[in-house]
Amino acid sequence: MKTLLMVDGSSYLYRAFHALPDLRNRLNEPTGAIYGVLNMLRRLHKQYHADYSACVFDAKGKTFRDAIYPEYKAHRPAMPEDLASQIPLLHACIHAMGWPLLMEDGVEADDVIGTLARRATDSQVQCVISTGDKDIAQLVSPDIQLINTMSNELLDEAGVIHKFGVTPSQIIDFLALVGDSADNIPGVEKVGPKTAAKWLKKYGNLEKLIAHAHEITGQVGENLRRSLDWLETAKTLLTIKCDVPLVLDWQDLVAQSPDTSQLAALYERLEFKSWLRELTQGQSTKAPAQNALQVKYASADSASNDCSSNYETILTESQLNDWLMRCERAELVSLDTETTSLDQMQAQLVGLSFCVEAGHAAYLPLAHTCPGVPQQLDSKWVLARMQPWLENPSKFKIGQNLKYDKHVLANYGITLRGVAHDTLLQSYVLESHLSHDLDSLAKRHLNYTTISYEELTGKGAKQIGFAQVAIDQATKYAAEDADITLRLHQSLFPQLDKTAHLADIYQTIELPLIDILFQIERNGVLLDVDQLHAYGKEVLRQLEILEQQAHATAGQAFNLNSTQQIQEILFGQLKLPVTKKTPKGAPSTDESVLQQLALDYPLPRILLEYRMLAKLKSTYIDKLPRMVNQNTGRVHTHYAQAVAVTGRLASNDPNLQNIPIKTPAGRRIREAFIAPEGWYIISADYSQIELRIMAHISQDKGLLKAFTEGRDVHRVTAAEIFGMPVEQISQEQRRYAKVINFGLIYGMSEFGLAAQLGIDRAAARNFIERYFIRYPGVADYMQRTREMAKQNGYVETVLGRRLQLSDIRSPQHNRRMGAERAAINAPMQGTAADIIKLAMIAVHNWLAQTEAQSKLIMQVHDELVLEVPENESATVMQQLPVLMENVIKLDVPLVVQTGQGRNWERAH
DNA sequence: TCCGAATGCAA
DNA sequence: TATTGCATTCGGA
């Protein structure tokens, strides 16, 4: 049987343009989209030896769809000039490569493809359609398959059912219900893929669904009934025409042999060097592996998404020996572990993967239990064999989040050393505002779609463990991860290295921090479970009393945890005044609202008390004891090193960075964080670090002076804005000044200040004006920062860490203002984050050098917490401030306050 | 079982 | 209509 290969060129054109970096030749002509599309055609050509082929593009001009629906694709902006300018050369290349190129005026590419696919089926020709567009799934049949060449996803009939939950013949109905945002075709409101598939499964098709529309209950049902007329039109728009009159012969679809000299001239102009070399040297079609480090010019080769690969499964002793030798010899080895659990303290190894050179990776299964599993090497023996290499600090390793792998190996008594790089942190330092998971990185930087974990294991309740995954599947996935990580390093590291400050932050802050965070997490913190348990009982009694009081006061029973029910009672039945709404428009019942209402009514006061205790109980009192590790008897948090865009750490499972402190009830919880017998908790925190950083960055004379002279800065500020001597400032006036000082750090508006202080806007504006008159350097800094952000698209910390602000030029006022506030805050929050990270490194190194037993156990943004044996406490108390205050030299002094006690509360 | 909304804890 | 996070409960699908 003959085959026809069709490529939906238009669907790839935009994707290539946006997915690839802005490649240009020496003439500064953009070339990225050309490269992307050609690269795909080359891959397809290698992959399929089709008898007929065609590359199809949309032509200019209106189509019948525009006629029946003027908004069709109307939301799409005009094609960017940088893309439009690439099209003539792209077409020239395709032509020179010998591909039949089709463009029909007034007909969309989809309809050309549909028509040819129909003809192919009629002529008993098999059809493969390469597209990134899901609409075309409607064409799939036993003789017609889709392939998404960017993601390597193949869709046959079963594939469509698996992906969309409906058959190819139901795809049009499915899309009509869901809508297609790419073409600006709305669906039924609130109906997503799940609902649409469910309905179509039940009723068969849209017609029958419409006939039973009255049976659908709820809001969705109403939405459906409202959309009935539209659905017909949507169907027409979404249906690919398979009967377009095309004057074409099968002969027109036979590929010609490439015009080599023409092609060489084009590649020369476009500077596609490796392809050019291939032509001139008459090499095989396989492109040589590229070393991104050497690609200095705007050569398109560095964007190669041709991740050709050779993955091996290690099942024999000799294979292992072979790979170990390669690891020993390689300059840098990419390493990844597959495990039984996301909890790094519990995780057991299922397998290990390595990559020594892009494209050459291996998977070493150790504990797969899938049916029909082959004999695997004995894991104890393997680990003993590998331990010397893993622990050798001069054998360099790279990975994606190696802190996790270090924990996993530590569970087997192995200390991973020689961590030279981590792609998670490279991406984080380079582009903290984007996602850093391996799948996203591969897509973004290599234009490559990895096999997702869920593809192998499923998701939700039916998800299986990695050990149940078949070994060949696991090899593809795990070896690919190691391979991709190495390739990412080759792309990311040179980018980092271009900006000295970013390279420094990566090398001297983030990389060294891996081991320190690992150690802190491993150390854990001791919890007085009995105390929490007793306190929980006490709180439970209070909650029961409060609940009864609330029900009695309201005159009915209701769920005190339900904001909706509280809304109904306060504003629906009791008719209390609504002062604030939630973002969705419902009357808010948050703390500030209840506090206001509590002045005049009894119920809000009860609710406030209830909420505070309920929160403490569920989030901390009950939860923390359950998080105690059974083996160590301690709580081990996880620090996320690449989550917060400003450079801060984040803590989770459990979050130890939001343990209560403000209320007496909250402090009872801090009392449960204890030191073992014979040890102390010592806490050291930076005093007003962000305000000090603001003084340093803004160089405001008044602020610098206040800090340099060691004054109470809130009191000084109050004196300035109230125009009174410092000695006469009241507590209330100081509180105002403090709110203003903090507000400034967050880029607060007069509205926000008014809300915060409970004063009117005019008064708030007055305070801000007086502040800026007294501290003109600060006003100036705010303005400079906004401008810097707008100009560069990013802001920087004192050490040069960057935060990109993609919304800073947004036409949407809200987004732009949000970005401006973030621009003002990020340098201060981020510099503080840099400083405490330096402090962690300094403290850790000092403890190691002096061979102290004391250990870091927590970091809370501006505070370090240590567990210290009695005999070391005096030294630590004396040395901590010295170390922390001198990690950086600012134009104001840094001040560190320390405390020690049997528990965290007492250490404050 | 999953997800968004509302809420609230920290620095 | 104040920055950065994480985690809880509810309630709808």
Q: What is the pLDDT of residue A462?
A: 81
Would you state the structure tokens that stand for residue A27, as one six-digit string? 């003439």
| Chain A residues 552-581 within 7 Å (CB) of strand B | 563
Among A81, A73, A84, which Cα is nearest to A110's? A73
Nucleotides of B under 7 A from a protein CB: 1-2, 5-11
Among A867, A871, A898, which Cα is nearest to A882's? A898
The reply to whether A739 has its C-beta less than 7 Å from any atom of strand C is: yes
**The CATH homologous superfamily of the domain defined by A310-496:** Ribonuclease H-like superfamily/Ribonuclease H (3.30.420.10)
Please give the average per-residue pLDDT across A793-803, as a whole number: 96
Question: Is A689-827 a CATH 1.10.150.20 domain?
Answer: yes
C-alpha span between A378 and A398 (Å, rounded): 25
The reply to whether A753 has its C-beta less than 7 Å from any atom of strand C is: yes
- A399, β-bridge pairs: A422
C-alpha span between A235 and A138 (Å, rounded): 12
| Chain A residues 326-385 within 7 Å (CB) of strand C | none
| Chain A residues 663-692 within 7 Å (CB) of strand B | 663, 666
Would you state the structure tokens that stand for residue A389, as one six-digit string? 């290499």
A525-635 shares the fold of A310-496: no
Phi, psi for A26 (deg, rounded to 5): -65, -25
Please give the average per-residue pLDDT across A501-506, as a whole number: 96
C-alpha span between A879 and A288 (Å, rounded): 56
C-alpha span between A370 and A368 (Å, rounded): 6
Report CA-CA distances (Å) from A797 to A199, A299, A526, A792, A808.
53, 32, 35, 14, 17
Query: Across all residues in chain A, what is the average pLDDT?
Result: 90
The reply to whether A583 has its C-beta less than 7 Å from any atom of strand B is: yes
Reply yes or no: is the peptide bond before residue A625 cis, omega within 30 of 0: no
Contact status, residue A420 vs residue A396, Cβ threshold 8 Å: yes
Model confidence at A291, in pLDDT bands (50, 70, 90)?
Answer: very low
CA of A868 to C1' of B3 (A): 44
Say if residue A524's pLDDT is above 50.
yes
Say if residue A293's pLDDT is above 60.
no
Model confidence at A302, in pLDDT bands (50, 70, 90)?
Answer: very low
The reply to whether A188 has its C-beta less than 7 Å from any atom of strand B is: no
Nucleotides of C under 7 A from a protein CB: 1-13
Please give the average per-residue pLDDT across A119-141, as a whole number: 91
- A866, β-bridge pairs: A682, A856
**DSSP per-residue letters across A587-636:** BP--HHHHHHHHTT-HHHHHHHHHHHHHHIIIIIITHHHHTB-TTTSEE-
C-alpha span between A99 and A378 (Å, rounded): 53
Q: What is the pLDDT of residue A94?
A: 94
Least confidently predicted of A127-141, A147-161, A186-200, A333-347: A147-161
Task: Give the nucleotide at minimum CA-to-C1' distance from A747.
Answer: C2
Least confidently predicted of A297-301, A435-439, A820-824: A297-301
Q: What is the pLDDT of residue A115?
A: 95
Among A521, A799, A821, which Cα is nearest to A651's? A521
- A202, β-bridge pairs: none
Is the pTM here over 0.85, yes or no?
Answer: no
| Chain A residues 467-526 within 7 Å (CB) of strand B | none
- Across A364-380, b (16+ Cβ under 10 Å) vs e yields bbbbbebeeeeebbebe
Describe the crossing of helices A776-792 and A761-774 by its angle, rounded to 10 degrees: 100
The reply to whether A612 has its C-beta less than 7 Å from any atom of strand B is: yes
Q: A337 CB contacts (<8 Å, ≥6 apart)?
A: A347, A349, A351, A352, A353, A404, A405, A408, A409
| Chain A residues 191-210 within 7 Å (CB) of strand C | 194-195
List pLDDT tens digits, range A194-210. 889 889 888 889 888 88
CA of A227 to C1' of C2 (A): 41
Phi, psi for A686 (deg, rounded to 5): -75, 130
Q: What is the pLDDT of residue A585?
A: 85
- Residue at shortest CA–C1' distance from C8: A619
Highest mean pLDDT among A54-63, A401-410, A451-460, A596-605 belongs to A401-410
Model confidence at A282, in pLDDT bands (50, 70, 90)?
Answer: low
The reply to whether A464 has its C-beta less than 7 Å from any atom of strand B is: no
**The CATH homologous superfamily of the domain defined by A525-635:** Taq DNA Polymerase; Chain T, domain 4 (1.20.1060.10)
List pLDDT tens digits, range A218-248. 788 888 888 888 888 889 899 999 999 888 8
Phi, psi for A538 (deg, rounded to 5): -60, -45
- A56, β-bridge pairs: A8, A102
In a 10 Å sphere around its CB, with 0-12 CB exposed, 13-18 middle and 19+ buried, how is residue A322 labelled? middle
Identify the three-state secondary structure at position A544: helix
List pLDDT tens digits, range A634-681. 999 999 999 999 999 999 999 999 999 999 999 999 999 999 999 999
Report the run of H or E that residue A269 belongs to, with start and end: helix A260-270
Say if residue A836's pLDDT is above 80.
yes
Say if residue A362's pLDDT is above 50.
yes
Please give the average per-residue pLDDT across A829-840, as a whole number: 96
The reply to whether A825 has its C-beta less than 7 Å from any atom of strand B is: no
Q: What is the pLDDT of residue A357?
A: 94
Identify the three-state secondary structure at position A92: helix
C-alpha span between A506 and A181 (Å, rounded): 39
Contact status, residue A126 vs residue A49, Cβ threshold 8 Å: no
The reply to whether A658 has its C-beta less than 7 Å from any atom of strand B is: yes
Please give the average per-residue pLDDT across A279-294, as a whole number: 45
Task: Give the nucleotide at minimum CA-to-C1' distance from A660.
Answer: B9
Q: What is the pLDDT of residue A846?
A: 97
Say if residue A784's pLDDT is above 60.
yes
Chain Cα centroid distance, residue A578: 37
CATH architecture of A3-163+240-252: 3-Layer(aba) Sandwich (3.40)
| Chain A residues 592-651 within 7 Å (CB) of strand C | 618-619, 623, 640, 643-646, 648, 650-651
Q: Please tell me chain A's helix, strand, coil percentages from 3-state DSSP, rounded to the nearest 5.
A: 55, 15, 35
Would you state the structure tokens that stand for residue A277, as one six-digit string? 């070399």
Model confidence at A308, in pLDDT bands (50, 70, 90)?
Answer: low
Contact status, residue A640 vs residue A833, Cβ threshold 8 Å: no
C-alpha span between A749 and A279 (Å, rounded): 63
Model confidence at A284, in pLDDT bands (50, 70, 90)?
Answer: very low
C-alpha span between A735 and A412 (Å, rounded): 53
Please give the average per-residue pLDDT across A729-738, as a whole number: 94
Contact status, residue A126 vs residue A3, Cβ threshold 8 Å: yes
Please give the average per-residue pLDDT across A44-52, as a whole number: 86
Scan for tokens 């504003």, then name that residue.
A571
Say if residue A283's pLDDT is above 80.
no
Q: What is the pLDDT of residue A534?
A: 94
| Chain A residues 644-703 within 7 Å (CB) of strand C | 644-646, 648, 650-655, 657-658
Q: What is the pLDDT of residue A109?
A: 92
**Other beta carbons less than 10 A from residue A570's beta carbon:** 23
Say if residue A531's pLDDT is above 80.
yes
Say if residue A682's pLDDT is above 90.
yes
Please give the average per-residue pLDDT across A770-775, as a whole number: 95
Helices (H), A630-712: 664-670, 689-698, 701-708
Model confidence at A307, in pLDDT bands (50, 70, 90)?
Answer: low
**Other beta carbons less than 10 A from residue A332's beta carbon:** 18
Q: What is the pLDDT of residue A298?
A: 30
Residue ranges per domain, chain A? 3-163+240-252, 310-496, 525-635, 689-827
Helices (H), A48-164: 64-68, 81-84, 87-97, 109-122, 157-164
Q: A502 CB contacts (<8 Å, ≥6 apart)?
A: A429, A430, A496, A800, A801, A802
List pLDDT tens digits, range A555-610. 999 999 999 999 999 998 999 998 888 888 889 999 989 998 999 999 999 999 99
Q: What is the pLDDT of residue A411?
A: 97
- Residue at shortest CA–C1' distance from B5: A584
List pLDDT tens digits, range A877-904. 999 999 999 999 999 999 999 999 999 9
The reply to whether A219 has its C-beta less than 7 Å from any atom of strand C is: yes
From its phi and psi, is residue A712 left (phi > 0), alpha (psi between -120 and 50) or beta? beta
